[in-house]
Copies of this chain bind each other. A is one copy, B any other.
């Protein structure tokens, strides 16, 4: 009797402690062998839970969400903090500014994403205001402004911290930018631009304005000729020509879009062919491109700039300015970098495994981080030593090939270098200038063969693609943490002994798009393939539809595109 009652007590405790296992228990008890099944289910659940580590994720952007989608919640207690309770499909933000796509169509509540994980992921809508890596604790603050009941501030402990808070706009300390410019980083930014564009038109058609005043109200200025700026210009041009001039006929000849770019060409991170295709398309569309100019001041009514070649100053009036010139550091990251001795950087330095340099158990990914890739020349002596198995002082091709795989994994710049030099085989490195194969090299020869390899190191761009891959990579590492402790899967350590626990993060570039309006787009695809025109726009449609985070947003985005093509874009000022 005592045994039975003690069993029920334990069972009831277990059910309260692990609600999810209660179903299993009930099922097993109903079927035969209740006691055995119970003890098994407890064993399964308790053992990992006793040492379940707390993973705290900051941010629900591309990096954070992609980490959350794959992390194994049976091994970790996962908690997420973000000032936004949704994930936003940011590449469609320029479409939101003109109502081609609705803001709601590109967001998915984080709770919807984590709900699929049996509710074991906890989410708090709050902003992290301070990271204390010595105390393994973060300080947070709710950003809800309404006077609601309870304390807005709280702190949370962690075992592992995953920082994925993204970046903020970079004004390069240009005066007047924060006060007078629009940005395009958040959903709210896009919604605000949408309203302001309509305001410009409504204001321009008020009675009693001079033609000059109307023109100024209808002057749309975009600072920065990168993908965001270009896509916004294209969207805006389509919106105006396809929808707004029909509703505001007198605006037709007064409206003007101007793009200011400090470089010599727009889209200068793209292939040259795309860049000039875009410039030609914009010229035909009447979008003015001012290149080689640096904006020095933005006032309420004017954008002042300096022509780089001549040093001359000039200015243009504006009705609205979009500032899209790159990313800057968030205050919480700045503060954290000072703590860990990473002052004067734009982003948190991590190693190749996304671990923040200078502190334990803290990872950073996405726009707030940048990987500090180890130079091969720093390790050249130890590599030589490790590779030269017979300690002969000469590295043979055979010996080099034995360590080559590890080198390529550990120093990805080697592969990039080979590619850039059109070398098919690594042994080409050892060819002497006359083209004859060398049978071996000494340390000096080895150094000189690899001396230019590090020039191929590039920091990764601040894109959704990079962030998403990093999130997926990191969750894979977390999920295999125990497994890889015993069976490390990384390359051999040249400085130390043994192997690295994991392979370092390796970015795969799947290409990038630049929609140019008028149902045309340009794309850089893998394998240096360039595609431009209407068919590329269809490719863009299918890629962007397929990349949506949920079926809900996929359906909404596609139906928005359909709606736009049937009814046009909505110009209500809401």
Chain A interface residues (CB < 8 Å from chain B) = 84-86, 99, 102-104, 107-109, 111-112, 115, 119, 124-126, 142, 144, 146-152, 154, 156, 187-188, 191, 196, 198-200, 202-203, 205-210, 213-214, 216-217, 246-249, 300-301, 317, 319-320, 551-552, 555-556, 559, 563, 566-567, 570-574
Is B574 in contact with A199, judged by CB distance below 8 angstroms?
no
A-B contact pairs, 30 of them (CB 8 A): A84-B572, A84-B573, A85-B571, A85-B573, A86-B574, A104-B570, A104-B572, A107-B574, A109-B570, A109-B571, A111-B248, A111-B571, A112-B247, A125-B573, A148-B200, A148-B203, A148-B217, A149-B209, A149-B217, A150-B206, A150-B209, A150-B210, A150-B214, A151-B206, A152-B206, A188-B574, A191-B574, A551-B567, A552-B563, A555-B563
Complex contact A85–B202 (CB within 8 A): yes
Contact B107 A149 (CB under 8 A): no
Q: Are B149 and A319 in contact (CB under 8 A)?
A: yes
Set of chain B residues within 8 Å of A119, measured between Cβ atoms:
249
B570 contacts A107, C-beta separation under 8 Å: yes
A535 to chain B, nearest CB (A): 29
A206 touches B142 (CB 8 A): yes
A190's closest neighbor in chain B, by CB?
A: B574
Tell me how far the C-beta of A2 lies from the nearest C-beta in chain B, rounded to whole angstroms.
Answer: 35
Q: Which residues of B contact A573 (CB under 8 A)?
A: 84-86, 125
**A188, chain B: closest CB distance, angstroms:** 7
Measured CA separation A149–B119 after assembly (Å): 53
The count of identical subunits is 2
Distance of A196 from chain B, by nearest CB (Å): 6
CB pair A247 B109 closer than 8 Å: yes
Which residues of chain B are within 8 angstroms of A115 by Cβ–Cβ distance? 246-247
Closest B residue to A125 by beta carbon equals B202
- A571 contacts which chain B residues (CB < 8 A)? 85, 109, 111-112
Q: Could you say which residues of chain B place their CB within 8 Å of the CB of A196?
A: 146
Q: Are B108 and A206 in contact (CB under 8 A)?
A: no
Q: Which residues of B contact A208 (CB under 8 A)?
A: 150-151, 154
Nearest Cβ in chain B — how far from A73, in angstroms? 15
A150 touches B213 (CB 8 A): yes
Which B residues are in CB contact (< 8 Å) with A200? Answer: 148
Question: Which residue of the partner chain, among B249, B300, B552, contacts A147 with CB atoms under 8 Å?
Answer: B300
Q: 18 extra interchain contacts, Cβ-Cβ under 8 A, other than A150-B203, A191-B574?
A: A85-B572, A86-B572, A86-B573, A104-B570, A104-B574, A109-B570, A109-B571, A111-B247, A111-B248, A142-B202, A144-B199, A144-B202, A146-B203, A148-B203, A148-B217, A149-B217, A156-B207, A187-B574
Please, how many angstroms separate the alpha-carbon atoms of A103 and B570 in the complex? 11
Q: Separation in Å of the A376 CB from the closest CB of chain B?
A: 46
Instruction: Report the separation of the CA atoms of residues A216 and B156 in the bound assembly, to the nearest whole angstrom.
Output: 24
Interface centre among A203, A206, A213, by most chain B C-beta atoms within 10 angstroms, is A206
In the bound assembly, the distance between CA atoms of A187 and B572 in angstroms comes to 11
Q: Chain B nearest CB: distance from A56 CB in Å?
A: 12
Which of B108, B249, B563 contacts A556 (CB under 8 A)?
B563
* B572 pairs with A203, CB closer than 8 A: no
Query: Which among B124, B147, B156, B320 is the interface contact of A205 at CB below 8 angstroms?
Result: B124
Bound together, the chains give a CA A111 to CA B142 distance in angstroms of 41
Distance of A339 from chain B, by nearest CB (Å): 24
Q: Pick the contact of A144 from B156, B203, B572 — CB < 8 Å?
A: B203
Docked-complex contact B107 and A572, CB < 8 angstroms? yes
Given A108-B572, A156-B207, A205-B124, decide whether A148 and B319 contact each other with a Cβ distance below 8 A.
yes
Q: List the B residue with the shortest CB-CB distance to A102.
A: B104
Measured between beta carbons, the chain B residues less than 8 angstroms from A555 are: 563, 566-567
User: Smallest CB–CB gap between A565 and chain B, Å?
Assistant: 12
> Which of chain B's residues have a CB closer than 8 A to the CB of A567?
551-552, 555
Q: Which residue of B lies closest to A83 (CB)?
A: B573
Closest to A84 in B: B573
Most buried by B among A102, A149, A206: A149
A196–B144 Cα distance when bound, in Å, is 9
Q: Is the CB of A150 within 8 A of B217?
A: yes
Closest residue of chain B to A205 (Cβ to Cβ) is: B124
A154 near B207 with CB under 8 A, answer yes
A301 CB contacts on chain B under 8 angstroms: 147, 149
A109 to B567, alpha carbons, bound, how many Å? 12
A199 near B148 (CB under 8 angstroms)? Answer: yes
In the assembled complex, the Cα of A456 lies from the Cα of B216 at a distance in Å of 59
- Residues on the B chain within 8 Å of A111, using CB: 247-248, 571
Return A561 CB to nearest CB of chain B, in Å: 13
Q: How far apart are the CA atoms of A300 and B84 in the complex, in Å? A: 25
For the complex of A and B, the 7 pairs showing the least CB-CB separation, nearest first, are: A86-B572, A150-B213, A125-B202, A111-B247, A150-B209, A552-B567, A149-B216
Which B residues touch A108, using CB under 8 A?
572
**Distance in Å: Cβ of A181 to nearest Cβ of chain B:** 12
Question: Which B residues lie within 8 Å of A319 (CB)?
Answer: 148-149
Q: A102-B102, A203-B142, A574-B187 are in contact. Are A149 and B112 (CB under 8 A)?
A: no
Chain B residues near A188 (CB-CB < 8 A): 574
Minimum CB–CB distance for A317 against chain B, Å = 7
In the complex the two chains form, is B147's CB within 8 Å of A206's CB? no
Q: Which residues of B contact A216 (CB under 8 A)?
A: 149
